[in-house]
Every structure is written in structure tokens, then in C-alpha cells.
Structure 1
Amino acid sequence: MREVPEMSSVFGAMRAASRSDQAPAWDVRADRLRRLRRLVTEHRDEIAAAISADFGNRSRQETALLEIFPSVAGIDDALRHGKRWMRVRRARTGIWFRPATSRLMPQPLGVIGIVVPWNYPLYLTIGPLAGALAAGNRAMVKLSEYTPRFAALFATLAQQAFAADEVTVVNGDAQVASTFSALPFDHLLFTGSTQVGHHVMRAAADNLTPVTLELGGKSPAILGPGADLERAVERILVGKLLNAGQTCIAPDYVLLPETMRDHFVESARACAGRLYPDLGANPDYTTIISARHFGRLDGLVGEAVRAGARAVPLTQAASDPQRRRLAPVLLLDVPEDATVMREEIFGPVLPLVTYRSLEDAIAYVNARPRPLALYLFERNRGAIGRVMAQTVAGGVSINETLLHIAQEDLPFGGVGPSGMGAYHGKAGFETFSKLKPIFRQSALNGAGLLKPPYGRRFETMIRMLLR
């Protein structure tokens, strides 16, 4: 593990290495990606155990599904397509400038900073790291202090797999993260809360460091009038209860027709029982990351109930503060000014909001900050088209939750308060590259007709250009 006082010197060595090898060959990049892949696959059991210990409990199966698999898939996608992404690309040249040619040359930016949150510590490290390495960069990674066992393990594994000027890991508290964000990276990617994102962007601004911010917010699930309700309930609960709702793109609340609400509640209680039987002792159900976060979630529910909301438990198991197992709950009739309706929930608490028409649901979403994800359950193509055309979100899954993030050809990123910029697959390669525009003049060209002294010939040419 690199200690904090070494941060500047490690960064300086990385920058010097990147400037001395500004165009690493594909073989070099592929070797780094393969080493990253081996790091994940050969140590997956240790990684899963460390993450479970940090949470208190998270099943190795859930870590395999949500972190190991998508991490390996992202690396494999970069290995499969990275050499093609590197190629110089043709660009259109304006008709008046031909036979000159235009090209775009992808080049590494240099040293990439990656700030990783606690909720998916492996995947949200590997995803951006794979894109950075495929693009030919070096990378420094700051892991979360909320996952200390994983952070220590990953730092050791990275040190074994990579030279210090290729990939290095920095661990420490919020002050370390602040110092890290203030380094003059060539690009900085931060995943975390909107509140912390403000601080990261301010720190980066001092160096004019470009940033990609993957934040969160209130991601709605909309049940259209033509939704298959039983399927919608199952997919919403799967998306909400994986990792106990501690997912930036988890459904944050449900918008549904008034006539569907009672059926949704009944179906949700039955579905939760099928997914997590005997939830109080079920090893598949993840615990809340810390006592502070458990208390925050419990407080959100308590405040809403005191304000007039009705809490409907989805299981007979009681919450256990000592073990940080928070039983999932629906919230009905929640006042709009309740904190749970204004702040990202990030836990197994799901408010239901009813609407009278699909246009009302669209207006409800549009009256609020643009979400990181939007989920629509509907079978009518016209209704789907209206929602898609009239809402803006970072990403969308239709008749599903979460799975748009697993598609390497779909950029992942937020919009407005839910983030800026995107990565994954080719989008990640381009985020961490400079697509350098190159205009090459032909030996035979008409540029000489547009130079001083300006006279009749020049005026004739301008009239032609402006026709």
C-alpha cells in the first residue's frame, strides 16, 4: 500500500513515465489488462471474503454476480476491442477543403485518478481501471475507508501485479481523499454521493482537471397502465434488495397507477418471501455497511411515519441493529417534504407514489432532479415511446432494473445532479483518451485563393462559400 506522504512522489513518477511513453503499443496495454484480469479471477474468493467482512455479511454469490462477473466482462470487452479502438479514425472533411483529409487519433491522457465508493468496491474500481489501461494510461486509485479489509487486500494485490508507475492504490480517510482529488491528474473519475461530488469537482477545478462524476439521486421505477404487474414487482424488488438497496442505480421509489397499489403491496410481500425466506437468518441478504448508515435509514422511515406515512414490512423478520440487518419496507402515503422523498435512500426502503395518468407520472419525474437511472414497466409501445421521449435520465432499463449497467456497449453515466460524463466499453476508452483532430493539407488545394490582399477574386470566393 502506498502511504499518504508518498502520493505526490508516486504521482510525479507516474506522470514522468506517461510522458516518456506517450503511445504504448497494444501489446503493452493488453498485458496490463490480462494482469488485472488475473488479479480478479485468481483472488476472487479472498476478495469476496474481504467484502463480506467489511459489510458484516454479503454472500459470495452476490459478490460473484454483482462484482466479479461484470469486472471480468469489462476487461474481456477491452481485450476484445481495444486494438480496434486505438486505430486512427477517418473524419469528414468539408467539401470546400478537399482533397485535404481529416483524422482522429486516440491518445492516452496520461495519469488517471479513480475515487471508489464502498458499495461495490471491486466493480467500481475495475470498471474505470480497465478503460484507463485500455486507453494506454497509468492510474492511481483511492479506495473507501468504509471497506478497509477489501482496500488493504486490493492494495497488496495491485502492488504484486503492477509496477508503481503503472497502477497504484492509496488508502486512507476523507482527508486523504481530499488530498488525492487535488492532485493534477489528467482526468479524475469519482463515484459517490452528490454532496461529496461537489467537493471533488472544486478540488479538481484548481488544476483544471477534467472530471467524470458518477453520482446518484432518486431513480424512479414507473409502472405504466399496461405493465405486467407481477413481473414488474419481482424485477423491482430484485433490483432494490440486491446489496440491501445499497446501489446507486437501485429503484429509489415507484410511480404506479392508483388502482395497482394494493395489488403491488400484496405481490411485493409474497415476492420478498420467495427471494429471501427467513430473512432474519438468510445468508443471501446483505447487511448495512455501518451503524451510521443503519441509523440514517431507520431514521428516514421513522420520520416519514411520524409525518403520516404508513410503513408496510415486506417480511415478518424484525430489523436487527446489532447485526445491521435492516428488514425491507414499503412506504405509502409519504408527504412530499419528507426527507425520504428528497434524498437518495440507498437502502431497502421503497416509497410508492400513485398517479392518475401516465402524463402525471412523467411530469412528476421531470419536476425533480434528473435521475441516474429510470425504469419503465410497460408493454404498450406508444406509452414506452412517450416516456422515453419526454424524460431525461442517465440510463434506462425497460421491463427490467439495473441491467443497463452491465451492457459494455452502453455508456454508463449520469446527467445534471446525477453526474457528468460516462464510461464502460468504448465510451470508457474515449473518456480516458484525447481524440486528437488532425487536418492534412493536400499538395493541390485552393487555400491560396483565400488570403490577402483581399480583392475581387476573394469576394467571388466568399459569395460561393456562403451560397
Structure 2
Amino acid sequence: MDRTLDPTLDPALDQSLTGTPLRALQDAFHAMVARSRAEPAPDLAERLDRLARLRAVVADNEERFRQAISADFGHRSAVETTIAETMLVFSEIRHATKHLKSWMTSQRVATALQFLPARNRLMPQPLGVVGIIAPWNYPLQLTLAPAIGAIAAGNRVIIKPSELVPHFSALLKETVGRRFDATEVLVTGIEDEIAKGFAHLPFDHLVFTGSTRVGRLVAEAAGRNLTPITLELGGKSPAIIDASADLNEAAERIAYGKLLNAGQTCIAPDYVLVPENSVQSFAEKVRAQMRRMFGTDPANKDYTSVISDRHYARLEGLVADAAQRGAKLLQPARPDDPNWKAHRKFPPTLILSATEAMAVMQEEIFGPVLPVLGYRDPDDAIAFVNARDRPLALYWFGKDSNARDEVLSRTISGGVTINDCLFHFTQINQPMGGVGASGTGAYHGEWGFRTFSKLKPVFYRSKFNRLADLDPPYGGKIARLEKLMRFMS
């Protein structure tokens, strides 16, 4: 497809869009594509300048971003915004800036003996225009992290923020617009028609972070243009407590991993598997840790609100369904308590005796609700995990290295943290990505640079190379060459 000439988004979309936000986006997209084709490979200095300007966007408006995100949530812990968003963005930019020169260097690749003398190189090149459909739960970090990789790789970027964070989205659009030309980095509006049409644009690469359900729709739309796609989804990430684990330590770390951002984290532990004789005691330990960290006052500034009334009601429904089906609940208050609901703070809730018939075990929770289930044998825990979609994260707690390695070798997940939660995500030298229903593709550090680059293989033939011996007329020379190649294979 000639992405600079095709004027349409998709045959199914209305073509009479003059003056609409979607038409404006379409025009901006084609202008960006034309510019990227005219200037396909920005040099190191230009890429570093763009990264520096992106850092300035955040650094110069750090407090404004904190306030905007908190306004969108109803209340967002300022500390959580700093440590889980701002600092990670700064770290990502610093890492890319430090290593970009070496990432951009063509890599030497070995040449098979029968083709010598010659050279092979892998040449990284920008893909062109990268689209990013961003989520609401960590709007700054999960918007800019893939953008950093795309910019480092020399691409131009269009960002579609989430409609659930309008204050943040407006601020990002304003601040990016001041630092970047619209053909370098562009932030769109959050209108419904843009949300519906964005994935239909023929990007050179598209990144989506969000739910598996919406991810399927985005992948379908992108597939019509054969657009390569990175999907960062979610699912039900398990935590397995081995019999060798320190229950107090595991309870503390799971409580933190679950309640960070009020559980609205795609890699939060979704449920916990515990030896069946320890379920009650472990749940009590987790509850005690949750109270120690966040207390029982919904006005606590360290405890983040649920993003919207609709999501609050969804969590209420999950807990109510579990209770009606016989689950035991451990919580400081009922979710319909006016003191909690007025702040849109959902009471941290532990669910015991959860069954597969309960909705809480059928869908990603994405909130401060944690089922604690018992298992009899380590094989049962592994089988329980493997009977479900492959999760974005898996957590294992214990001291038995053989049991640990058994879980690592027999389960597949996007990433793993041992004896803690979440921290594999913060490792900038490791890729971040899902598998199966939890996503495809990866970014972070050099992995992001590679994702948003075309590693083009180049073969340099020497004038002394005898590949001409392959030309007709065939005869004895081919037989000799074939004998040599068979000897070397």
C-alpha cells in the first residue's frame, strides 16, 4: 500500500468527513507520512533533541501532570504518580539517550564460509509513522514509554490518549504541541470518532495498551492494512505461594502490588494460590498489611480512587456475585458505604472460597479485590494457571529453588517477578510484553528500539567473490561448488 497516496481510512468508514476531527487526523497523518518519506532517517543529533524535548514536556509540567491525573481519577496518590509514572519516564529517556548511538550502529553478522569473501550487516532503520493508543490507568508512563522507543528509533509518532483521562489528555496535547512540530509528534483529541477511526489508519506500526477485548478489535482493524502491531493487554496474573515461602513477607509484597493505583495495574496480582492449610492465615496477613499501608479511612491520600463510577459499579458487581455464590469476604467496609463511595475509593477486599463459577474468577479484576485460593499440590497450582489464558505476569514466592524452577519451566507468561510483585516491569534492560491473550510484541530500552526499527540485512559482496560460478552454463564447476557446500553444511 502507498501510505502517502491512499486518502481513505477504511472502506466501511464515512467518506464525507470534511471538517470533522477524524478528517483532521487523517490529514495530519498523511502529512506526517509524507514528511517521514522525505526525511526517512533522522540522525543521532535530531533523535537526541526530540528525546530532550520530550523530557522537557514532563519535567517542565510535572506538577501539572500530577494534578491533571488526580483530577481524572477523582484522587490519585501524588507519590504513586511520581514513582510509577514520572520517574519511569525519566529513566527510560535517560537510558535511551545514553545508549542510542550504539543502538543505531549497524551490527556485524557472520558470513557463511561458502560465501566469502563478503560481509553481512544488520542496518536499523526507522519504520516511519508509529501510532499509540494509550490507556488510562498509568496515562503518562504507558503513553510515553512506547513513544520514547519509537522516537529513539527515528520514527514520527501520533498518540491517541484515553477518553477516561480528559484533563491529562488536554494537558499532554497542549505541552507536546508547544515542543514538537505536528509532523514530529502529535497528540490527538479524544473524540469518539477518533477513537473509532484511529486503528484504521495505515500506520507503519501500531501500539495498543488496554483490555484483551478491545485489543482484538484493534488488531482486526490494523490487520486490514497489514499494520504490524504491539498489544500490551492484561488478563489474570497469578501469584503462587510455595510451601517454602515466608508468609509474612509474601503478604506484605502482594498487598503492595495489589493496592498500588488501587489495583488498576495490568500486571497486578489478580489472584493468589496458597497451600490449602494456609489460606485463612495468609489472607489475614494480607489484610493486616493492607491496613498497615493504607489504613481504613477512605480519605487517605495514599489510596487512589477508582477511575469512574462505571468501573466502581463493575467491581461492586464482582464482589456481590462472589458473596451470593458463597464466598467469604474480608473487607474494612462494604463498597456501598457512603464514606467510601463518595471518594470513589473501593474498600480493599479479599475473597476466600472463590470458585470458577464466580465472575471474579472469569475476568480480569483491575481493582483492589483479591481472591485467595487453596491448592493441595504444587502440580495442582501449575495446572490451574495453565488451564487459563497465558497471563501478562506471574509471581512466585518461596525459598525452594527446585520448586521455583519447576514453575518457571512449566508455565508461560509475559514476565515474572520472584519473591515480589511488579518489579520485572521496571527492568529497563528486559523486554516488557505479553503472550497469547495477554499481548504480543515488547518494548522497553533497546527492545523498544528494535520493535520500532526495521533491522535490514545487507550483504556486501567482494569483487573477489566467486558467486559468478553459479551462473549458467552449468557443468563441472557447479558439481564442485555443490560438493563444497555439502561439506560445509
Q: Within 2, Cα distance between the matches of 1:247 and 1:274?
A: 21
2:22 is equivalent to residue 4 of structure 1: yes
2:422 is matched with: 402
1:237 is matched with: 255
2:377 is equivalent to residue 357 of structure 1: yes
Deviation at 1:4, TM superposition (A): 3.5
TM-score after normalising by structure 1: 0.97
2:175 is equivalent to residue 157 of structure 1: yes
TM-superposition CA deviations, 1:209-238 (whole Å, max 9, x none): 100000000100111111111111111110
SS of alignment partner, residue 232 of structure 1: helix
2:388 is matched with: 368
TM-superposition CA deviations, 1:36-69 (whole Å, max 9, x none): 1111111110000000000000121110011101
2:453 is matched with: 433
The correspondence for 1:77, drawn from 72, 87, 95, is 95
Listed as ranges, the matches of 1:200-239 within 5 Å are: 200-239=218-257
TM-superposition CA deviations, 1:84-142 (whole Å, max 9, x none): 10001101111211221100000011110000011010001110111111111110000
Q: Within 2, Cα distance between the matches of 1:291 and 1:173?
A: 20
- Which range is displaced more, 345-354 or 310-319? 310-319
The correspondence for 2:270, drawn from 244, 249, 252, is 252
1:101 is matched with: 119
CA contact (8 A) 1:224 1:376 kept: yes
TM-score after normalising by structure 2: 0.93
Q: Within 1, Cα distance between the matches of 2:316 and 2:191?
A: 25
TM-superposition CA deviations, 1:364-413 (whole Å, max 9, x none): 11111100001111112111111111111001111111111111101000
The correspondence for 1:392, drawn from 407, 412, 420, is 412
2:461 is equivalent to residue 420 of structure 1: no
Listed as ranges, the matches of 1:171-190 within 5 Å are: 171-190=189-208
Percent identity, please: 50
Q: Within 2, Cα distance between the matches of 1:280 and 1:179?
A: 39
One-letter code aligned to 2:199: S
1:344 is matched with: 364
Q: Within 2, Cα distance between the matches of 1:369 and 1:173?
A: 33
Count of aligned positions: 466
CA contact (8 A) 2:21 2:194 kept: no
TM-superposition CA deviations, 1:230-275 (whole Å, max 9, x none): 1111111101001100000000000111122122122112111110
Q: Within 2, Cα distance between the matches of 1:301 and 1:278?
A: 18
1:449 is matched with: 469
CA contact (8 A) 1:189 1:211 kept: yes
1:323 is matched with: 343
Deviation at 1:363, TM superposition (A): 1.2
SS of alignment partner, residue 298 of structure 2: helix
SS of alignment partner, residue 320 of structure 1: helix
TM-superposition CA deviations, 1:302-360 (whole Å, max 9, x none): 11111121111156995733321110111111121211111100000000111111111
One-letter code aligned to 1:111: V
In structure 1, stretches of 5+ residues that fail to align are: none
SS of alignment partner, residue 376 of structure 1: strand
2:311 is matched with: 293
One-letter code aligned to 2:259: L
